[in-house]
Amino acid sequence: MHLPKKLTLGLFGFGVVGQGLLDIISSKNLNLSIKKIGIKHPEKQRTLSAELFTTNPDEIINDPEIDTVVELINDADAAYELVKRSLLAGKSVVSANKKLIAEHLPELISLAEETGKSFLYEGAACASIPIIRNLEEYYDNELLHEIRGIVNGSSNYILSKIYQEQMTYHAALKQAQDLGFAETDPLLDVGGYDPKFKLSIIAAHAYGLIVDPAQIFNYGIQYLSADDIRFSTEKGVRIKLVARAIPAEQHAISLFVMPAFVTAEEPLYQVENEYNGVVIQAAFADRQFFYGKGAGGHPTGSAVLSDIAALRYDYRYEYKKYHTLKQHLTLKTDQQICIYLRYEHEQLVEALQFDEIIERFNNRKFKYVMGLISLEKLIANREKLLTPDVFLCEASVLT
């Protein structure tokens, strides 16, 4: 029988996820130990003995007894250095840092391959939902069509509190922060950046497409107004922040994140609070729905622990689709989308040059248009859309 290896861990980060991971590890009898924990602020009170902590990353990276580095810090640039140095020092790495992964994936894949070490990151996309491992292993030989998901727990939590409890946006955001769901800079969540990073990681494993996340259009919920909520309620739909991947002809794939009107018949409608949900349309398996907690210390810690446990058997991602298809895949930016646009000034509607306007409403206090527009026009006018006077929402279910 192939017995699991004993692992000696060095952990970077002892915040929401780091402590969640420690709770889970402490409750189990696993053949692994945490030798050192790297933190930033030595003055903070800790629940563990002071000798376990260090602010010097070398104490972890240069320790030959530590074979596995678990990176759970809230600074993507510092995390990039730690992950790179750890792989180069011959350690396998587990991370939950979607920004770092999305921004540096090709380099980190190469580094893991050159060093022969594993780089795993299940916790980086949808926390407790084992989406990456499923895309990597289960759907390995399956042709995947559209993927559509709620992949940010904080913004979903805010939307649930607004619809179900009539809470204000700011009060709901504060709760998401207090519960440890939000990023240190919550604009990453509510502005649709965090879901964009997750979408780009999902696309790498689902299709083999790896693109710089800066090229992916993201629009968030930070300018949602009471008018938009009222409009959606009157139409019998709810606004959710949705990440979409739509494969098209000639190996081109559209990727974008924006609010969307969702009907009660769709699985995503039922996804509330910090939960995430992902609908995968596959050629043969047909439609499948993944659902689970998308933020929080224990749900994310469970995904991180699953990666650590997999390392005991030397598990690594193979990126088969990426290696086979990468020369042929491109990001499609001319996808036509049906949107609702709340606006103040007519110049914006003129600048956007809709392909077709389907509906228009205009009174002194509330103006909107609904119509078809190409994604590239939204990309070109993105700055003009980022103002409290404007809100954008995918509206195909209303036309």
Ligand X SMILES: N[C@@H](CC=O)C(=O)O
Cβ atoms of 373 and 357 closer than 8 Å: no
CA distances from 61 to 87, 96, 219, 267, 292 (A): 9, 18, 38, 44, 34
198 has catalytic annotation: yes
Residue closer to ligand X by CB (options 67, 194) is 194
Nearest to 221 by CA among 249, 200, 250, 195: 195
* Binding flag, residue 255, ligand NDP (CB under 6 A): no
Q: Which of 39, 159, 173, 295 binds ligand X (CB under 6 A)?
A: 295
Q: State both tokens at 382.
A: 């993105």
Among 134, 154, 254, 302, binds ligand X (CB under 6 A): 154
For position 102 contacting ligand NDP by CB under 6 A, the verdict is no
Backbone angles phi, psi at 84, to 5 degrees: -60, -50
Considering only residues 289 to 308 of the shown chain, the ones binding ligand NDP according to CB under 6 A are 295-296, 300
**Shortest reach from residue 124's CB to ligand NDP, in Å:** 6
* Angle at CA of residue 315, ends 310 and 317, nearest 5°: 120
CB 76, min distance to ligand X, A: 13
CB atoms within 10 A of CB 145: 15
200 binds, among ligand X, ligand NDP, none (CB under 5 to 8 A by kind): none
Helical packing angle, 153-165 and 169-178, nearest 10°: 130
Say which of 36, 98, 196, 198 is annotated catalytic: 198
**Residue 23 in the binding site for ligand NDP (CB under 6 A):** no
57-66 b/e (C-beta count within 10 Å ≥ 16 → b):
bebbbeeeeb
Burial zone of 362 (CB within 10 Å; 0-12 exposed, 13-18 middle, 19+ buried): exposed
Residue 104 tokens, joined:
């540096």
Write the binding mask 139 to 178 for ligand NDP: x where contact by CB under 6 A, - elsewhere: ----------------------------------------
Using CB under 6 A as the binding rule, whether residue 17 contacts ligand X is answered as no
| Footprint of ligand NDP on 45-84 (CB under 6 A) | 72-75, 78
Of the candidate residues 67, 71, 103, 194, the single one contacting ligand X (CB under 6 A): 194
Round to whole Å and give the CA distance between 269 and 4.
Answer: 41
Q: What angle do CA 34, 37, 39 make, to 5 degrees?
A: 165
Task: Rule CB under 6 A: say whether 40 interacts with ligand NDP.
Answer: yes
Among 20, 153, 213, 301, binds ligand X (CB under 6 A): 153
For 370, half-sphere exposure in the C-beta direction (CA atoms, 13 angstrom radius) is 16
279 binds ligand X (CB under 6 A): no
Nearer to ligand X by Cβ, of 128 and 333: the residue is 128
Catalytic residue list: 198
**Binding stretches for ligand NDP (CB under 6 A):** 12-18, 38-41, 44, 72-75, 78, 96-97, 123, 127, 180-181, 183-184, 295-296, 300
**Binding stretches for ligand X (CB under 6 A):** 127, 152-154, 181-183, 189, 194, 294-295
